[in-house]
Amino acid sequence: MGRCIDSRHIMEEITSPASRQQMTTPVGGLSLFDAARAMGVPFTKEVSPSDQEVKVGGFKFHYLDWGNQAMPTLVLLHGRTNSAHTWDFTALACCDAFHVLSLDMPGHGDTDWIPGGSYTLDHQLPLIAGFVNALGLTAIRLIGHSMGGRIAMVYTAQHPGVVKTLVMVDMAPETTREPMGLGWRQLPAETDTFEEFVQAAHKLNPRRSPEQLRGSLAHQLRHYPNGKWSWKWDPALREANTNGWGPDRLWPYAEGIRCPSLLIRGGDSDLVPQAAVDRMARTMPGFTSVDIPGAGHQVHGDRPALFIQAALGFLSARS
């Protein structure tokens, strides 16, 4: 599958496996619900998602379905080396008002890897389009972070009749750099114990407690047959180019977006320059932006309560 896939010629097959990852308490950590309360995340009831799969031309997507199918659909696309569970706080807070679907992006979690390790927009966009088509989704609300934010932005421009509102999280058509040197690249490739990862992650990002990190990393790591703990994503993503287009090609797509759109930046992140925000405000009708104080690039994990307030307020006002 090291080629661009035309989603118009994709056959779809939906399966519903038994749930593999319940909202249990990780060893030495907090349950999702206790972690959410500790972080001030607003939610009305303890809801656990169901694990689902859909095949797009033989390519398997894994995603989390948070229920409430009668409500408007909210699709969540995570960033490089994250997973569907990256959005657990957001989904928990939003699943009363929306039918929340959180994907494991290609090469991540329990979704298939792309043979050859090609994760550029040319290869990921048709797969995301195939996912939306396979589930028959329409009038979706779309949130994307980092790599997922770039994909969400271009997908919205290419499918104006499908996306009703767009939220981009710390991503724009132009950035100060590729977000390859952020976070995970400064963490070990593998460790002897799970706790070593927790302590390394806490040292890198003290905005989150070790208890919270144990819960999030439980979905990011795998215990391999050689006894080592390592990441639950395609190792090719360590060096892969997840863009492939560049600002000159991305700007026309962004400036073609006509639905209401929101950019949420981390107040401590320098990835999206103010000049890019100003250009988006000038050229994208219905565009607005907000900075979340005390948050780095992983805005929705660093300051989840403030992130949810901004994102849910924006989406609810336009539903």
Look-up of token digits 């000049």: 275
Average pLDDT over residues 177-185: 60
Nearest to 224 by CA among 192, 251, 185, 179: 192
Residue 184: pLDDT band (50, 70, 90) is low
**Interior angle at CA 310, CA 287 and CA 180, nearest 5:** 75
Q: Residue 277 phi/psi, 5° resolution?
A: -60, -45
Quote the percentage of the chain above a pLDDT of 90: 68
Residue 181: pLDDT band (50, 70, 90) is very low
Comparing 55 with 6, the larger pLDDT belongs to 55
Look-up of token digits 């599958």: 1
Paired tokens of 173: 């058509």
Nearest to 204 by CA among 182, 222, 223, 221: 182
Query: Which segment, 1-5, 15-19, 152-156, is predicted with the most confidence on average?
Result: 152-156
Q: Residue 21 phi/psi, 5° resolution?
A: -130, 95
The residues that bridge with 14 in the sheet, in sequence order, are 54
Nearest to 142 by CA among 302, 19, 257: 257
Cβ distance 224 to 212 under 8 Å?
no
Residue 218: pLDDT band (50, 70, 90) is confident
Paired tokens of 105: 């992006």
- pTM surpassing 0.85? yes
Nearest to 160 by CA among 258, 263, 94, 246: 258
Dump pLDDT digits (tens) for 140-149. Answer: 999 999 999 9
| Average pLDDT across the chain, whole number | 87
pLDDT score, position 28: 58
pLDDT surpassing 50 at residue 25: no
Domain 7-317, architecture per CATH: 3-Layer(aba) Sandwich (3.40)
Nearest to 249 by CA among 147, 150, 179: 150
pLDDT score, position 178: 66
pLDDT surpassing 50 at residue 23: no
Separation CA 114–CA 92 (nearest Å):
30
Of 86-100, 213-227, 277-291, the range with the lowest mean pLDDT is 213-227
Average pLDDT over residues 247-273: 97
Residue 195: pLDDT band (50, 70, 90) is confident
What's the sign of the alpha-carbon dihedral 150, 83, 303, 194? negative
First to last CA, the chain: 37
Domain layout of the chain by residue ranges: 7-317
Residue 26: pLDDT band (50, 70, 90) is very low
Average pLDDT over residues 59-80: 97
In 10 A of CB 117, how many CB atoms?
Answer: 17
Paired tokens of 83: 């997973």
pLDDT score, position 182: 53
Rounded to a whole number of angstroms, the CA Rg of the chain reads 18
Paired tokens of 268: 């401590």
